[in-house]
Amino acid sequence: MDGTSQASTAKDTARGSSDTASTSYQAYPEMSAEQEFFLYELETTDSGSVGLVLRAIYECGDVHKFSRALERRIAQYDKNILKVCSFHFQGYIDAIDQLVQLKEKCSEIKQDVKEIDEDIHVKSERLHKQSAEVVRYRKLQKNVTTAIDQITMCLPVLDNYAKLQELMKNKKYYLALKVLEELDHTYLNHVDKYRFTQTLANSMRPIREEIRLKTFDEFKDFLANIRRVSERIGDRASKNIAKESLFGISDHEKKRRIEEEVKKNTPREDIRLSSDGSVSLRRDSTDKLLHRTSTGDDDDENLSAQDLIDFTPIHRCCQIFNVLGDRETFDDFYRKQRKEQAKVIIRWDGTSPLSNVWDRSPLTSAT
């Protein structure tokens, strides 16, 4: 710390001497007061007044003296400058060394900054590419999610349409009509913005009419089945009435049939003596089994009209026309057909087979 303070003191001293030299001068014996004034004016005045000072020197006529005095002053200033430079030379060298070191450090820093900049540039480009990839994949993920959601909404439509085709193929018209109603009122409304739904809707429009016609055909088959079994039903009804009322049978035949019926319903009992001397009673059901076997072939005769006719088609047709909203048309057609059948039966004279009468009957067709 003391060396530093002394150096700073010396520098201040040198700086003070140089400042004093710039504003004062050493007087010489041959230098007049006027020359001293001219030198002072040159040192202290601004550049605009130099011309006036020089003019005054030339007017006085002592130019050579003034020149010698000016040279001495310049030599004195050179000495002062040399002293100052000698005193500050080591500081100047140190400053230059520091500047060189600073230059080297600046070069290193510049190189580091350049490398960092290049690294940042490379990483920023990589980050930009990755961010672009992330944005693209997010859009792709969003599109995939949207597509999955829309396909999930469309799958019930396609499944039900395939189910509708399968039901139509298997002639399950009521279930097919239910599926068709569900498609029209539930599923197609959610996906009506897609073009394939228009194609499905166009293909489903004639299905209702097809179901209606197929139902009428099934109903006609039901009526035809009634015509086929009507003769058997009438014959069976006539025999049952005659059997119950014993109509057209003699008294002797009535008595015999009653005795046979009682005998059939009365079990036969045998009394036997066992080996230990006890009496056992055994009922023989052989006759009953034989009776059941003999009557097995006549089971068809015990069937009622409801057993001979399957009313499932008419119930199915009724349900289908109810869903179609055309129940009155079906009811009118059914009543008309049954009235025509009743008229045919009433007009039959019994001389010709009933099947021929059905063939000639003017039954109306479904419209």
Residue 104 lies in a domain: yes
Pair (67, 206) in one structural domain: no
pLDDT above 60 for 9: no
- The answer to whether residues 364 and 336 touch, using CB atoms and an 8 Å cutoff, is yes
Q: What pLDDT score does 350 carry?
A: 56
Separation CA 193–CA 263 (nearest Å): 81
Domain closes at, from 110, 145, 161: 110
Residue 272 lies in a domain: no
Pair (95, 225) in one structural domain: no
Region 164-174 average pLDDT: 86
Residue 64 lies in a domain: yes
Q: If you search the block for the tokens 């961010």, which residue do you land on?
A: 131
pLDDT above 50 for 137: yes
The Cβ of residue 232 has, within 10 Å, a number of other Cβ atoms equal to 13
Separation CA 302–CA 44 (nearest Å): 157
Pair (341, 201) in one structural domain: yes
Residue 223 lies in a domain: yes
Domain closes at, from 62, 89, 110: 110
Torsion of CA 17, 21, 22, 25, to 10 degrees: 160
Pair (70, 191) in one structural domain: no
Pair (330, 239) in one structural domain: yes
Pair (89, 195) in one structural domain: no
Task: Say which DSSP state 308 is in.
Answer: H
Domain closes at, from 110, 128, 161: 110
Separation CA 113–CA 230 (nearest Å): 110
Pair (82, 188) in one structural domain: no
Please tell me the number of Cα atoms within 13 Å of 269 on its side-chain side: 5
Separation CA 360–CA 367 (nearest Å): 20
Residue 173 lies in a domain: no
3-state DSSP assignment of residue 47: helix
Pair (240, 332) in one structural domain: yes
Residue 166 lies in a domain: no
Q: What is the DSSP string of 228-250?
A: HHHHHHHHHHHHHHHHHHTTT--
Residue 50 lies in a domain: yes
Pair (105, 202) in one structural domain: no
| Host domain of residue 55 | 33-110
- How many separate domains does the chain show? 2
Separation CA 86–CA 80 (nearest Å): 10
Q: What pLDDT score does 289 carry?
A: 37
- Which tens digit of pLDDT belongs to each residue from 297-351? 455 555 555 666 777 777 778 888 888 777 788 788 878 877 877 777 676 655 5
Residue 2 lies in a domain: no
Nearest to 304 by CA among 245, 241, 237: 237
- Which tens digit of pLDDT belongs to each residue from 209-262? 888 888 878 877 877 777 777 667 666 666 666 666 655 556 666 667 666 666
Pair (188, 333) in one structural domain: yes
Pair (98, 192) in one structural domain: no
> Nearest 5°: phi and psi at 210?
-65, -40
pLDDT above 90 for 138: yes
pLDDT above 90 for 143: yes
> Nearest 5°: phi and psi at 268?
-95, 130
Pair (104, 195) in one structural domain: no
The two beta strands, 279-284 and 268-273, are antiparallel
Q: Is 350 left (phi over 0), alpha (psi -120 to 50) or beta?
A: left
In b/e form, how buried is each residue of 15-35, taking b as 16+ CB within 10 angstroms? eeeeeebeeebeeeeebeeeb
Number of H helices, E strands in the chain: 12, 2
